[in-house]
Amino acid sequence: MLLCFPFTPLLSSFSRFFVGFLVICMLFLDSSSSSNVPAKIGKGYRLVSIEESPNGGLIGLLQVKQKNNVYGPDIPLLQLYVKHETDNRLRVHITDAEKQRWEVPYNLLPRETTPSLKQTITKSRKDPFKLTVSENGNSELIFSYTADPFSFSVKRKSNGQILFDSTSDESDPFNSLVFKDQYLEISTKLPKDASLYGLGENTQPHGIKLNPNDPYTLYTTDISAINLNTDLYGSHPVYMDLRNVKGEANAHAVLLLNSNGMDVFYRGNSLTYKVIGGVFDFYFFSGPSPLEVVDQYTAFIGRPAAMPYWAFGFHQCRWGYHNLSVVEDVVENYKKAKIPLDVIWNDDDHMDGHKDFTLNPVNYPRPKLLAFLDKIHAQGMKYIVIIDPGIGVNNSYGVYQRGLANDVFIKYENKPYLAQVWPGAVNFPDFLNPKTVEWWGDEIRRFHELVPVDGLWIDMNEASNFCTGLCTIPEGRICPNGTGPGWECCLDCKNITKTKWDDPPYKINASGIQAPIGYKTIATSAYHYNGVLEYDAHSIYGFSQAIATHKALQGLEGKRPFILSRSTYVGSGHYAAHWTGDNKGTWEDLKYSISTMLNFGIFGVPMVGSDICGFYPAPTEELCNRWIEVGAFYPFSRDHANFYSPRQELYQWESVAESARNALGMRYKLLPYLYTLNYEAHTTGAPIARPLFFTFTKETELYGLSTQFLLGRSLMVSPVLESKKTEVKALFPPGSWYDMFDMTKVIASKETHYVTLDAPLHVINVHLYQNTIIPMQRGGMISKEARTTPFTLVVAFPLGVTKGECNGNLLLDDDELPEMKLGNGYSTYVDFYATISNRTVKMWSDVQESKFASEKGWIIEKVSVLGLHGSGSALEVEVDGNEVKDVSKVEMSTKDHEYVETLEDKTKNVMVEISGLDLPVGKKFVLSWKMGMKS
């Protein structure tokens, strides 16, 4: 739903107005955070003692060298804890040695605990200069330090490359280690040729690669995604560092596990963290490939959630489906237009007065809604609605009454903190409180009994507040009164500046303007369960809500939950999907969506997409054509629009409908491939959509490429992202690439280079890379039907190869089950292999857990083999080791490949199609044939 920040585009005009707002900006600027600060803050710390801990780590004691009061007094003694937790993960933890400080709760993000503080400061100490390096068996990471002033470095064992170096020299623009109650600073030196990715969520106009001197602020904020280089809905303080030295490429990642607000300054040759609380809790992941980095990262933060099969179908939503008949018409019109549709959504239009877990009795009467759901559920369609965290303050509202009775709300001065969102005055549930999690689960259960929804959309959970400060409900007037915009604050409010939590000494660049950190959100001096301050827990609010929602949905019917969350934190992908928030219907926003999507794959949130055609204002017809061509290949593919925008369902323009049928038609054929990538993500963390450098890591030209992307390791999408273009200049890595819409067309080269591709209005260029086998089906109008159709296997050999091999895989399961795994009797996993050698082509499968696929009766009807230097003859077929003697219905045909660009090798190569097959997916098969010569 729409954000309500003063400097986002006004809904009435949809243009960027800053008049009047500049005055606010000036008020927010605080000179104490910049011009009055000395060039260097203190002299850092010195290591006074260090010893080995019982669990195989190191424990040290740091003492401040020179006290000062810039941003508050220094914490005099710090505990250093270092542990090689795995062969590829190193932890460096620094905190107050005498007092417990805030950390991301261990029950929300499970991990090893650190040694107790008392143990650290009471034991005898060893000479810190005798132990300067920490290595651990097979660990790829080496920790070393300098005692005075204290600094540390992390080095790669295999090549000696320094990955992190916190040394601060006099000439450096950053300080040695600074550790105060509300200001923490540490830096690392970097080589200038390092390529960095991550540090989000923000909209990056320069593309996926971090740009030196752009601002990177991490603090969850309800601010429209159209605002560039600004802290948005999520906080992910992790970056991947990719370096190519003399042709050898190595990647690693650095996570600072801290939920407090922070600025990160990337200067190209250094990176500095300035954090307003918590601890330094660094995790280093050694890689060395980008895929291995994400594997190691998600092994720590939690593997991405398994998504149901239908979630990979197309979704339609709009804020402004005023009544049920409109929703029914939308579903019917998609069917008439022959555009695939799996899921229909409601924004808050279904609610009674914008209140969670309610139905509008006039516009969405329950009997008619249930009849509608029975109808679409019978067809295999799904229905999802929005839920905001703010619970309307209303004594006749059962959800609020039960919440009050269970004491579930965030407090301020012993009363539930009062805010305003869509229902008017609201209180915010405290998801750090176990009682709140139980109450929330019960409310979801009650609502599901009222309306059998298939998933939940949790929005506004940064948390968003239309007001600022300490508010009360006005007497003598209705708030809101229904005449003005619903996002204007109408409570009686006063600013809260009396505490250091509301007005910290260091001002992060919140909202891009150094806004007070409590601006348009929960006051940061409000408190949660056990006295936890909102100041500390702010950026994990949406994360904690996602965990509670996931638990509730999983407990309903034992089905696999689907949750879409706007606000995210480290680990959110373990529970929820994400969309990129309120984007704009512009060519620029279409382009930005790719970088944000790719970033979230790195963050461990692979199920991600943007509002197709833009949330607001009205997109042009041409833009919507191009956007559905891209959006059809987002992992999460949803059209969503604003209340005030004209209708933009894909059937509203015939030209867009044609593009949708084309692009979504291909998506629905690729659903088994996408779903198998979902399994790969769930088991290894691998992003579904990923940058090209994930596969072609040595190709430095790809390190900044943000206008193309891969699905899996080998399916490349090269969209048109500019107006009035009928061709696209796409970068192709070395090898053979086959056009998915016409597999006879091929691009082959020995080096990375640009190719200009034809791209008329209804064409999206998608290419399959060599050495790959992908499973496809016939497609359809809904995933339930598409899933029952026969399979085609596409085998892509390097063009004209005389000796080579390909592989691929397929996961089939009962996608309603909570767990996505083998061995439960409701799943089948198939590995596909193909080789060419001695003019013989051989293809076979290896099946695990065959029972499920066999019972479903899935078959392979066709195999398309690309890049062969010769036609096929004398086909032999085996199933489960038995020769199939009758192959009379099987046909082999060949088509010449057409070269999109001229190769030095002018030899003809062909695609061989074997149709009429009837191979059970659940049984092992072998196909082989001799290749005849092709002149």
- CA angle in degrees (0–180, nearest 5) for 423-427-430: 135
Distance CA 435, CA 111 (A): 23
Dig out the tokens for 382 from the structure. 């799904």
Helices of type H across 603-709: 621-631, 654-669, 671-684
Beta bridge partner(s), residue 142: 155
- Is the CB of residue 25 less than 8 Å from the CB of residue 513? yes
The continuous run of DSSP H or E covering 427 comes out as strand 424-427
Q: How many residues are listed for the chain in this entry? A: 935
Catalytic residue among 74, 222, 459, 680: 459
- Is the CB of residue 541 less than 8 Å from the CB of residue 533? no
462 is catalytic: yes
In angstroms, the Cα distances linking 412 to 467, 470, 534 are 15, 9, 10
Concatenating the DSSP letter of every residue in 185-199 gives EEEEE--TT-EEEEE
Distance CA 142, CA 125 (A): 22
Q: Which residues have a Cβ under 8 Å from the Cβ of 934 and sit 6 or more positions away?
A: 868, 869, 870, 871, 894, 907, 908, 909, 910
HSE-up of 914 (CA within 13 Å, CB side)? 26
- Is the CB of residue 279 less than 8 Å from the CB of residue 95? yes
DSSP state letter for 640: -
Q: Which residues have a Cβ under 8 Å from the Cβ of 447 and sit 6 or more positions away?
A: 357, 453
Catalytic residue among 295, 349, 582, 913: 582
DSSP state letter for 30: -
The position carrying tokens 């034809």 is 758
Instruction: Indicate the burial class of 162 (C-beta count within 10 angstroms; 0-12, 13-18, 19 or more).
Output: middle
Catalytic residue among 201, 241, 388, 462: 462
- Is the CB of residue 308 less than 8 Å from the CB of residue 346? no
The 3 state secondary structure assigned to 752-790 is: CEEEEEECCCCCCEEEEECCEEEEEECCCCCHHHHCCCC
Strands, DSSP E only, in 212-304? 215-218, 236-245, 248-256, 262-266, 270-275, 280-285
Phi, psi of 416, rounded to the nearest 5 degrees = -55, 130
732-737 contacts, C-beta under 8 A, 24 or more apart: 732/767, 733/692, 733/695, 733/696, 733/699, 733/702, 733/769, 734/696, 734/699, 735/769, 735/770, 735/798, 736/769, 736/770, 736/796, 736/797, 736/798, 736/799, 736/866, 736/867, 737/767, 737/768, 737/769, 737/770
**Which 3 state secondary structure label does DSSP give 684?**
helix
Q: Omega of the bond prior to 480 within 30 degrees of 0, cis?
A: yes
Beta bridge partner(s), residue 141: 156
Distance CA 249, CA 263 (A): 29
Sign of CA dihedral 147, 148, 149, 155: negative
- Is the CB of residue 412 less than 8 Å from the CB of residue 501? no
Beta bridge partner(s), residue 612: 639
HSE-up of 392 (CA within 13 Å, CB side)? 20
582 is catalytic: yes
Instruction: Count the Cβ atoms, other than its own, within 10 Å of residue 492.
Output: 15
- Is the CB of residue 780 less than 8 Å from the CB of residue 310? no
Catalytic residues: 459, 462, 582
